[in-house]
Amino acid sequence: MDFLVRNAGLGDILEKIRDGERISVEDGIRLFQSPDLLAVGYLANIVRERKNANNAYFIYNQHINYSNICTNLCKFCAFGKDKDSALAYEMTVEDVRQKVRERLSEPITEIHMVGGIHPDLPYSYYTDLLKVIKEERPDVHIQAFTCVEIAHFAEISGLGIAGVLEDLKKEGLGSIPGGGAEVFSPRIRKLTCEKKLSGSGWIEVAKIAHKVGLHTNATMLYGHIESLEERLEHLDMLRKAQDETKGFLAYIPLSFHPKNTELSKMSQMSRTSGVDDLKNIAVARCFLDNFPHIKAYWVMIGQKLSQIALSYGADDVDGTVKEEIITHMAGAETEQAMSREQLLRMIREAGRIPIERDTLYNVINSY
Ligand code: V47
């Protein structure tokens, strides 16, 4: 395999990775540009193995999207709707209680909850959501509210970012998911999500969260109009932030789904290719040397490719999920849920040891 990597002109990057030396932004761009997928995957696999041995993680989780009403109306998003849209919805706090109750018989350890930037729900609505979830399922870990939602809560509550995070933590927030990062580049934000919290604003919220003791995840929404340089700029901002705080748990590349989005109305857009999906996993694994985990999110790239991604740098496949709405509104054809048995089979067949984890990567069961 070393010969294959050198033949692909990536010998110098192999040396760096072998020596545990950091690769540069230019190296990252070269990996994306390389036509030799196997060589790039081989490099990522070295890092994955060093960090996570033969383990592949999954979680028994539930997704709840409390409302799709959103003032940002990003051009890549099919989920967010104007308040007056016929497709807009908003769950009451009691609706969310009901959602949790419906699945109390299942061994769910994490509730992943996000929503749009709502124009008029009061701050107390969000703290009440945490309260009812904890009332129904006291032991569950609530991973909720993206950095974009947190910045919005800081504004409507007047508590400031750190104040809101401390307050939500007190009410039961366990950690913060990685959504809303999109592509940090100001050019991409201007063209696709002008009203959204800026890239540097997103990083700032994540760093404050880490300082108040909350772990967070990070994502990048790739495969629309961003350049390779902009992908690497995004990864570089994450790597620098992680050097400072060490609070990120996992990085999840999110493949763009064009259906029903403004971007696809403006110009013909197609789904990302399998090669680009695997490269996004592999390059991230090579570049983000300070991130413990790289997730292949099966909802977005499919169960089959997620299984292959376990040989291209990923060590986590997310979890059971159920009722995923954000990607399915944008045309995802994957299932909305996977059972524990399906996840175990997928991981075992990939030659890995399935580890059921909690949100913070504590081992619940090793199979
Ligand atoms: O924030 C929006 C993205 C995110 C589209 O932290 C789209 O462990 C693809 O962040 N095509 C939500 N993506 C999903 C997310 C996530 C999922 C699983 C695990 C974790 C984690 C985080 O999806 C949004 C946005 O960035 N998104 N529209 C679209 N058309």
Domain map (residue ranges) of the chain: 54-366
* Predicted model pTM: 0.98
Does ligand 1 have an atom closer than 6 angstroms to the CB of 297? yes
Phi, psi of 118 (to 5 degrees): -80, 135
**CA 83 / ligand 1 centre spacing (Å):** 21
Angle (CA) 87 64 272, round 5°: 75
Q: Is the CB of 223 under 6 A from ligand 1?
A: no
Atom 12 in ligand 1: residue holding the nearest Cα: 179
Q: Give CA–CA dist 297/223, Å, rounded.
A: 15
CA distance 62 to 21: 38
Q: Work out which ligand 1 atom sits closest to the CA atom of 143.
A: 6
Instruction: Report which of 269, 275, 284, 273 is spatially closest to residue 224, judged by C-alpha positions.
Output: 269
How big is the chain, counted in residues? 367
In whole angstroms, give the CA distance from residue 296 to residue 313. Answer: 9
> Residues near 53 by Cβ (< 8 Å), separated by ≥ 6?
none
- Regarding beta strands 316-319 and 173-176, do their DSSP bridges make them parallel or antiparallel, or are they unpaired? unpaired
Token pair of 145 as six digits:
């509210």
- Can you read off the two tokens belonging to residue 131? 């309260």
* pLDDT value of residue 59: 97
Per-residue model confidence (pLDDT) at position 266: 87
- Beta-carbon contacts of 255 under 8 Å, excluding residues fewer than 6 positions away, are 222, 223, 271, 272, 276, 277, 280, 300, 301
286 lines ligand 1 (CB under 6 A): no
What pLDDT shows up at residue 159?
98
* H helix or E strand, kind and range, residue 126: helix 123-136
pLDDT at 322: 83
Looking at residue 15, its pLDDT comes to: 98
Beta carbons within 10 angstroms of residue 87's beta carbon? 12
Chunk the chain into consecutive blocks of 10 residues (it has 367) and report each block's average pLDDT, rounded to whole numbers: 93 98 98 98 98 98 97 97 97 98 97 98 98 98 98 98 98 98 98 98 98 98 98 98 98 97 91 97 98 97 97 97 90 90 97 98 95
Report the CATH number of the 54-366 domain: 3.20.20.70
- Take residue 124 and report the two structure tokens written for it: 């107390």
The pLDDT score that the predictor gives to residue 337 is 86
